[in-house]
Amino acid sequence: MTGRRAHSKKADHTASRLRSRRVIAVVAAATAIAVVTGVRVTLGTATGNVVATVNGETIMAGDVAQMQARYEFYYGEDYTFEEALEQLLVEAMVYQEAERAGYLPDMGQAEQELGAQLVRDGWTMEELLTALEEYGIVYDDYIETFRRELAMGNYVDDEVAVTAEQARERYDTLFEIYGEELPPFDSMKEYIIIDMEGENLARLIEGLRAEARIETFTEDN
């Protein structure tokens, strides 16, 4: 029972990380990729070690190190090997299902979305290309990462979406428990939706995990 609770807690934690992960921002993406490129160089041959497979897709030691560097760059917090590997396992499962379900945009769609995001962020394509060149990032690699993020983000958004009617039902259930102590629905609606989306994502991940073929080749395996 303790193991099951611990696994559920880890799944909720990872779901929270994935849910907060959206399509990478232009400047942050360029800088983060530069950071992990440096990590890849310092790792040397360690990048060639396979640490896990998800439905036949390999995860390398270098992938885990890059995830750790990316997280620490974004959030300024340490990210353990176990946490980073778990995140990569989840992302692999989500991406594979998103691709299978037809969420991966073609190159034209991805570049159109990238252009729209550049406009929202106040950038031009020329400025992006200059930034990528400055950090030694190949545009083709960047747009492939962007496509993958789009596929995962759109798939997750659709799968975990909560309607206003569902939120109202949850509120009514809570009202039966707390009565007049509960704030009005309008003031709680957003928080209820966020909470329910988190629950939906945790269930989605657990469902994907139940169907996935996962092997790990770490010391804890």
Query: pLDDT digits over 129-149, tens only?
Result: 998 888 788 899 889 988 998
Give 68-106 as a DSSP string: HHHHHHHHSS---HHHHHHHHHHHHHHHHHHHHTT----
Q: Could you report the per-residue pLDDT of 178-214, keeping only the tens digit for each?
A: 999 999 999 999 999 999 999 999 999 999 999 999 9
Per-residue model confidence (pLDDT) at position 159: 94
120 falls in which pLDDT band (50, 70, 90)? confident
Q: What is the pLDDT of residue 111?
A: 94
Quote the CA–CA distance of 209 and 221 in Å, as a whole number. 17
- For 11, 93, 215, the CA distances from 56, given in Å and listed in that order, are 22, 11, 9
Q: What pLDDT is stored for residue 137 in this prediction?
A: 83
Say if residue 20's pLDDT is above 80: no
Q: What is the pLDDT of residues 33-59, one digit of tens each?
A: 444 444 443 333 344 699 999 999 999
The per-residue pLDDT for 145 is 87
Nearest to 163 by CA among 183, 199, 194, 193: 193
pLDDT of residue 13 exceeding 90, the answer is no
Q: Is the pLDDT of residue 27 over 60?
A: no
Mean pLDDT of the chain: 81
Please state the rounded mean pLDDT for residues 114-141.
Answer: 88
pLDDT at residue 26 is higher than 60:
no
Which pLDDT belongs to residue 219? 58
| Banded pLDDT at 95 (limits 50, 70, 90) | very high
Contact of 52 with 215, CB cutoff 8 Å:
yes
